[in-house]
Amino acid sequence: MQLTKLIVPLFTHSIIVLCLANPLNASIKQVSSVREGLAQFNDLNASDLIVCDIDETLTYYPRLSKQFINKPLDIQLQQRTFYALDAELPTVLNDLQKNRVPVIALSHARTGNFGVIKSMEEWRFNTLAQLGFFFTFEQKNHAFLLTQIPKPHPSFFKGIILSAHHAKGPVLLAFLKHTAMTPKRVLFFDDKKSNIASVHKTCSSVAQVHCFHIVTQKKLLAVEKQAPIF
């Protein structure tokens, strides 16, 4: 009897602590692909928001040949050939959008002019479009800066957010506030734990956030982890 009286308060306290640490039932799971994460939901709808990192989440690129290794980073970017990690994923994401489920991309990349690249926004859009990846945006509001974040400001272009090297959590939150979007659930996919932690910590107070850490063997085909950040 005394043991029961002791266990019940402890159990109740544990639930309270878990709820405070994990607001709105936010979750973090490890998956091998975006499709594996999406398959855990059979009721995705217009009140949800899917947010995908790009490199090593949607795409990968083989290592450049030796002649380009010591070239400036902007030239290296121009020479990269990108491939979809999952050839069927562009169709899956396009079908979701046809069913009014919004899908956007969130990259850590810099914004604006970068050496021989006149617009990082257009370059990133074009590299993804060539693979069949398209994202959700309103034509009348297809490009804007997130000025709530200090300079260099992150940018939004045709469904793709470039964070300008700012932490992804605050950038995504600024995007939601700028667009007045109030998704009930946010599904966030990224291959870097630091980005997962940032979004989970920052955005769980405004939506039910489900973070998926992408771990795949195809990363072995991609550029090394110590490659310069663009």
Let me know: does 172 contact 116? Beta carbons within 8 Å.
no
Q: What percent of the chain has pLDDT over 70?
A: 83
Kindly state whether residue 29 falls inside one of the protein's structural domains. Answer: yes
**Could you report the per-residue pLDDT of 26-48, keeping only the tens digit for each?**
689 999 999 999 999 999 999 99
Global pTM? Answer: 0.85
Structure tokens at 100: 């009014």
Kindly state whether residue 166 falls inside one of the protein's structural domains. Answer: yes
Query: What's the pLDDT band for 230 if we cut at 50, 70, 90?
Result: low
Kindly state whether residue 14 falls inside one of the protein's structural domains. Answer: no
Dihedral, CA of residue 118, residue 120, residue 121 and residue 122, to nearest 10: 50
Query: What's the pLDDT band for 224 if we cut at 50, 70, 90?
Result: very low
Structure tokens at 211: 């973070």
Q: At residue 7, does pLDDT exceed 90? A: no
155-157 and 143-145: which strand pairing? Answer: antiparallel
Domain CATH number, residue 142: 3.40.50.1000
Kindly state whether residue 1 falls inside one of the protein's structural domains. Answer: no
For the chain, the domain total comes to 1
Residue 37's pLDDT is what? 97
Kindly state whether residue 39 falls inside one of the protein's structural domains. Answer: yes
Query: 149: domain range?
Result: 25-221
Number of Cβ within 10 Å of residue 139's Cβ equals 6
Kindly state whether residue 2 falls inside one of the protein's structural domains. Answer: no
Q: At residue 20, does pLDDT exceed 60? A: no
Kindly state whether residue 182 falls inside one of the protein's structural domains. Answer: yes
C-alpha 21 chain-centroid distance? 22
Cα three-residue angle 211-212-217, rounded to 5 degrees: 160
- Give the Cα separation of 136 and 119 in Å (integer): 20
Kindly state whether residue 13 falls inside one of the protein's structural domains. Answer: no
Residue 222's pLDDT is what? 44
Q: At residue 22, does pLDDT exceed 80? A: no
Query: What's the pLDDT band for 90 if we cut at 50, 70, 90?
Result: very high
Averaged pLDDT score across all residues of the chain: 87
Q: At residue 221, does pLDDT exceed 50? A: no
